[in-house]
Amino acid sequence: MIACPGAGAQVRAASRGLACSAQCRRPDARSQRAVAADAPPVRTGAAGMAGCCQQRSGGSGAARRRSARAAAASSSSSSLVGSGSADYAALQGKKVYSAATGAEVELASLWRAQPGTRCVVVFLTHFADLSSTELAQKLLAVLPELSAAGVGLLAVGLGEPDKARRFAELLQFPVDDLYADPTGELYTALGFSPGFAPDASISAYAKLLPMLAGIGSPGTIQEVLRGYTGDRAAQPVFSGPSNLFDVLGRGYQRPLELATLRLFNMNLVLSHWNKLAPANERLLTQQGGCLVFEGQRTVFRHADTGILKYVDVGAMLRAALPSGAPAQPPATQVTRTLL
């Protein structure tokens, strides 16, 4: 598990009342753009990890991480340097809440935005959404690859910090890397889709029905069908030496395999709905996205077009890693077994 330096130190400071800084599918070409990645390579090893993120373990490792984060926070500057990007500028002053402590913190202060350092910032939908659950499971599968390369990862979801904390507990997602936006202001600033008929004076639950049918949610129907029909170009879904789907072959996403994962996830979400769903009903239709920063520059951007149309984690990984695609991609899309 990894975290961008400065995050833990600043969140802990806020929680003590000290002063903080001011505050799987396959997306189509229209929803995702990769910006030319001509940045210098990210340093790996001790120097690289001190520059962007720290690997989590335990015992003395935790003390080393706290020291590195504190050093990174003290050496970083709140002023903009270099050319920057519109996305980075849009984040200035935008605040989120730590799932770990509930403390308010400026999102852009959570990593060192300097040349040669990279950080992935994933914007989940709300914490009771199947899209968020599925995407978080896929992120868990690639966290070791990002951590080994010294690339940080932060995730923001829609809702309150206690909902984010419960989400992390259920999925075993690193709580120190998870933040909550209870208003959706951050998503609006980044231009992410508000979903179907955002100005209509009807219940957000009523708006979800046409979105599930693909209305105001391009690509959703195709993605649902892909879960049933399988995908020869995708990795298997479930981990483990063998499972029931092996009778259909190995090395690809088998028919009904992704649909089975979604059935498990639906049961998980519905059984914890009240502890995951946002208090602001309007956020139920708000879509998310994903940004990869090299310093202050956006090197990869994805905006969800609709339900289940979250970022292609493989494409994100190729953009985030300094050497491109990993030589050994994860064997499965998620780290859980079938049973």
Q: Which domains occur in the chain, in start order?
A: 2-320 (3.40.30.10)
Q: What phi, psi does 275 have (nearest 5°)?
A: -95, -5
CB 302 within 8 A of CB 290: yes
CB 116 within 8 A of CB 295: yes
- Does pLDDT of 225 surpass 50? yes
Is pLDDT larger for residue 78 or for residue 290?
290
* 272-321 tens-digit pLDDT: 999 999 999 999 999 999 999 999 999 999 999 999 999 999 999 999 99
pTM score, two decimals? 0.76
What the block records as the tokens of 133 is: 């659950």
Cα separation, 229 vs 1, whole angstroms: 33
Antiparallel, parallel or unpaired: β 178-181 and 152-158 = parallel
- Does pLDDT of 28 surpass 70? no
Least confident of 35-44, 219-228, 240-249, 309-318: 35-44
CA distance to 64, 136, 236, per residue, from 254 (Å): 43, 21, 7
- Does pLDDT of 151 surpass 80? yes
Question: Where does the pLDDT of residue 328 fall: very low under 50, low under 70, confident under 90, or very high at 90 and above?
Answer: low
- Does pLDDT of 83 surpass 90? no
Burial 300-337 (b: 16+ CB within 10 A, else e): bbbbbbbbbbbbbbbbbbbbbbbeeebeeebebbbbbe
- Mean pLDDT in residue range 70-78: 32
Question: Where does the pLDDT of residue 56 fall: very low under 50, low under 70, confident under 90, or very high at 90 and above?
Answer: very low
- Mean pLDDT in residue range 157-161: 98
Q: What is the pLDDT of residue 68?
A: 34
Place of tokens 């989940």: 124
Q: What phi, psi does 271 have (nearest 5°)?
A: -75, -10
Q: What is the pLDDT of residue 240?
A: 77
- Does pLDDT of 125 surpass 60? yes
Mean pLDDT for all residues in the chain: 79
Q: What is the pLDDT of residue 336?
A: 73
Least confident of 56-65, 225-234, 261-270: 56-65
* 231-255 tens-digit pLDDT: 999 999 997 777 889 899 999 999 9
Q: What is the pLDDT of residue 85?
A: 86
All residues at 6 or more sequence positions from 339 whose CB lies less than 8 Å from its CB, including other chains: 243
